[in-house]
Amino acid sequence: MNKKILVIGIAMLIIGIAMAAGGTEYFESSFTNSSSTHYSEIKSTGLNVSSNITVKSGYIVIIDGTVSDSGLVNYSSLSSVTNATSLKSVEQKASESDSGLALYINLKPGTYKYVYFNGTSTIPEYGHITGSQFDAMAALVLGGGFIAIVGFVVIIYGAVKKQKPKSPYAADDPYNIDNIKI
């Protein structure tokens, strides 16, 4: 076991995990600053409507906890949403959607509303972040993950590598075989 390499690997692993965790926390705090769970219900249609989501150029809209029969709608199209079928015809298509999380990238600047029809016990959270905030988060998470993986490999290498044995002879010892001249 080479202790110096092992310590370097442990340090890299800790730094990598801290960077990835910091990127995730940065994302969550950026999203939380602009997010909301406030909805109002339109009794005649059973439609739950979010507060205004004002999108500027470069914003990424995030919906956490998406439900069935829901979507992001431009404010000007909201009056035409009377049922799930009409919602599907005017909703914005999510750029990415997975496990109840939907990302809307490259939306035109304007005002949007997140709407859903079904009564649900979990209320979707909605908000936005800027593209540069998303890029910073991604860089921290991916960079930290890479450093943590390299650190893990270095730890294994340091644990397996044998330490170079110390020569029992001094460097200028005439009996040291490396110092014999022929």
Domain boundary assignment for the chain: 1-34+130-163, 38-123
What residues contact 118, with CB distance under 8 A and at least 6 apart?
A: 67, 68, 69, 70
Average pLDDT over residues 82-99: 86
Whether the pLDDT of residue 64 is over 80: the answer is yes
Per-residue pLDDT, 135: 87
Q: Comparing C-alpha atoms, which of 43, 25, 2 is closest to residue 144?
A: 25
pLDDT at residue number 161: 85
| Mean pLDDT of the 150-173 span | 79
Q: What is the number of residues in the chain?
A: 182
Amino acid at 43: K
Query: Contact at 8 Å (CB) between 53 and 114?
Result: yes
Which residues neighbour 89 within 8 Å (Cβ) at sequence distance 6 or greater? none
What local confidence, expressed as pLDDT, does residue 175 receive?
Answer: 64
Express each pLDDT in 99-141 by its tens digit.
888 888 888 999 998 888 876 667 888 888 888 888 888 899 9
The pLDDT of residue 151:
95
Q: What is the pLDDT of residue 155?
A: 93
Band of pLDDT at residue 52, cut at 50, 70 and 90: confident
| Dihedral of alpha carbons 118, 27, 73, 40, sign | positive
pTM for the whole thing? Answer: 0.66
* Contact indicator for 144, 21 with CB cutoff of 8 Å: yes
Q: How much is the pLDDT for 154?
A: 94
Q: Which is more confidently placed, 170 or 70?
A: 70
34 pLDDT more than 80? no
